[in-house]
Structure 1
């Protein structure tokens, strides 16, 4: 009797096991339960998941560590970067196991990522006066690369374009801090590595778009993300040690040779000065005794009378032109420089141009930057969409451009005119006297940042082919309210 009961119990156990197995596999959309650690481990071992984890460990975490080390506003914005990558890691884990949901479900699913991107942009715009504004802008311009999950059929180029957009501000960080603090140069390289590694990951696993249902076809909402670990560092505790970095991939074309060229120029200059010093008196003529004033009193009296009668300027005899020394002529020629219009890497160089009415920059790409230096009385046309435009120490230059990704900047210029054909998000005017900007109907949301400048105006199209001119305030009135805060308004006498 006991033996029969044991056999019956064995059969019952087998039937229950079969029933559980059938219940698990009966629905094509059902999957491993939330608590199924073995299934979660199998998902985590997938290359598409492991390589994104490697992206976080090898690139994102070291970048966050250095950001926390620099501190300030960079420490705060890096927390949003950490949350952004964490949210995308969770999203990818769900996407590769499930069918593509409808548009409304996708909007809800990516909300954690879009919220962090918006927070990064808002934080950057709020801190324009921050000493780390270029760092913040490099992050703000680069993080839209994580929007590749919505790009089809080629998300890779989208990541690359956003990397190129971040390059402009990364170069500014290098220019400002490379000599002061090498930590900032390391920060630039790490941010470039984050974007480059993301580009490689997308090209490897998501060539034609996010790989939905590549590892299963369950309902998106049923897939668990509870095994995802948060990404790296917060300001509240010590950062984890960064893993050793592998040799970095070919970076974006960052201008890292600026200081080397400056050092070479400085050495050449010092060599020239030293060489002049060796024979500086070689060509001097000896003054004879009869021309020395201390030995000839009559010469001294003539010199004294000339000093007293200083109302008459010294004029050379008629028919003779004043001569210019060879040293002065050489200095003038060197200061003016050689005219140039060429593409060097990703940067168009336009410099030392004078009286040129038809300078054109064509065959541009969105990753290109345009640098215009010491041009006088010229008209320049830039076709296509470029990353940025900078005009430095120019006079009486008119520029017409199609579209700019980041900004156009006027620095140390005089009597400038600019016309926007399509769009430009920001126009920055610094230490410039006379700058008149003509906007297009599609560029009316352009922001203007001005400092230490005068005679600025914005010309807005009225719809009938005409423009209405609005001056930018040059003078401001500041009052103290409540003994605690300052309120600044444009001064009405400035014509505003």
Structure 2
């Protein structure tokens, strides 16, 4: 990717920032399903970072060439002569090397597997033996019924018409065994510990509950913030970061200074999100009951929503406005009307 252009390092950094958007979507989808996809994405992002470091150190202004090197023809001839001069390894028991020492030949192959019995023969013999035992027991005569249980008169249907209504005969001599009812795991066993950690270039904030003082201050432009599984908590992200994602959160408030790429809100309920400076894109998916506060710098944001309801955007009045300085609240449309115009579907909010 750095073969073109006179400044490949900044170009690679832009591609890394763009790839992180899709990498985060893969992680959100497969984090609880199949972690191998998350590991692959982390390895790929690490590879891109290493490529960026290498290009920045050795090819900052483009690919550098060895101006004092040999011609391609001489280089190819040198490699061809080195290959043809190599001696093949002898197939005898030993091979001479240098000053007379020898290398022993490899050991013989391992012995074959031990003989096994034919399962079909054994199965046929066992079945034949069982059938012979059955015929021998039938030829005993009258004593063949000696081991049968005697039926009491109270269990005979022809003598008790009340038993004919059901096809089951009650066993008087049997006792009912009360097995213990298995109990499911308690709710506390599913609770995971809350943590805030920096893994590579990704801040992880997860499993907080009733915490109003979570602050991430040591941030940089190439880092992402992933907030997951928090309830009734407030998280503040200071500085400029690349991506901020809120996933499966309820009654949470998020405050960020500035975002380079996008803000993603997924599977969240009753949340509030405030941007103090600027963000280019806000995506909301499968969420409801959200209040998003914009700054004057972020009024040109692109808003993408899907499968969401009760989403409201609030923004301050224009500069120089006198009088009422409260935020203006506008809901995101949820009802639409579509028409077919000139072979195309035209959709308008209603």
Q: Is the Cα–Cα contact under 8 Å of residues 16 and 48 in structure 2 kept in the other structure?
A: no
- C-alpha deviations, 1:373-421, integer Å up to 9, x for none? 1111111111111121111111111110011121111111111111101
Change (3 A) 1:331 1:388: farther
**Residue matched to 1:431:** 286
Residue 399 (structure 1) aligned to one of 238, 254, 257: 254
Q: Secondary structure at the match of 2:296?
A: coil
Q: CA deviation at 1:334?
A: 3.0
Q: 2:194 aligns with which of 322, 333, 339?
A: 339
Pair 191,384 (structure 1): closer, same or farther in 2 beyond 3 Å: closer
Equivalences, count: 228
CA positional deviation for 1:186 = 9.2
Is 1:374 equivalent to 2:233 in the alignment? no
Report the equivalent of 2:118.
Answer: none
Aligned match of 2:57: 203
**Aligned equivalents of 2:187 and 2:182: distance in 1?**
10
Distance change (3 Å), C-alpha of 1:188 and 1:380: closer
Say which structure, 1 or 2, has more relative contact order (CA 8 Å, 6+ apart). Answer: 1
Runs (5+) with no aligned partner, structure 1 = 1-51, 57-84, 93-147, 150-155, 216-293, 297-324, 492-496
Does the CA-based 8 Å contact 2:12-2:52 persist in structure 1?
no
Matches within 5 A, 1:100-119: none
Alpha-carbon offset, residue 344 of structure 1: 2.2
Aligned with residue 440 of structure 1, among 269, 274, 295: 295
Give distance in 1, aligned partners of 2:202 and 2:45.
21
CA distance in 2, matches of 1:174, 1:475: 30
Distance 1:339-1:188 versus aligned 2 partners, 3 A rule: closer
- Give the corresponding residue for 1:487: 346
1:275 is matched with which residue?
A: none
TM-score (normalised: structure 1): 0.40
Q: Does 1:162 align with 2:162?
A: no
Residue aligned with 2:298, SS = coil
Q: Unpaired segments of 5 or more residues in structure 2?
A: 68-169, 173-180
Match of 2:264 in 1: 409
The partner residue of 1:459 within 294, 314, 318 is: 314
Equivalent in the alignment of 2:90: none
CA contact (8 A) 1:389 1:407 kept: yes
1:235-274 equivalence runs, <5 A: none
Q: Which has the larger Rg? A: 2
Q: 1:428·1:449 contact (CA, 8 Å) conserved in 2? A: yes
> Taking structure 1 as reference, are residues 466 and 400 closer, same or farther at Cα in structure 2, changes over 3 Å only?
same
| Greater strand fraction, Structure 1 or Structure 2 | 2
Change beyond 3 A, Cα 1:421–1:187: closer
Residue 335 of structure 1: how far off its partner (Å): 2.7
Any conservation in 2 of the 1:163–1:192 contact (CA below 8 Å)? no
Checking the alignment, whether the CA contact within 8 Å between 1:174 and 1:188 is kept in structure 2 is no
Change beyond 3 A, Cα 1:380–1:195? closer
Query: Could you tell me how far 1:331 is from its partner in structure 2?
Result: 3.8
Q: 1:172 to 1:369 in 2, by over 3 A?
A: closer
Distance 1:444 1:430 in 2: 20
Aligned counterpart, 2:155: none
Q: Label 1:364 to 1:192 Cα distance change in 2 as closer, same or farther (>3 A).
A: closer
- SS across alignment from 2:299: coil
Query: Quick check: which one's helix share is greater?
Result: 1
Residues 435-472 of structure 1 deviation map (CA, whole Å, 9 limit, x = unaligned) = 11111111111111100101111111104653111111
Normalised to the residue count of structure 2, the TM-score between the two structures is 0.55
Mapped contact 1:159–1:195 kept (Cα < 8 A): no
Matched, 1:476 2:336: yes
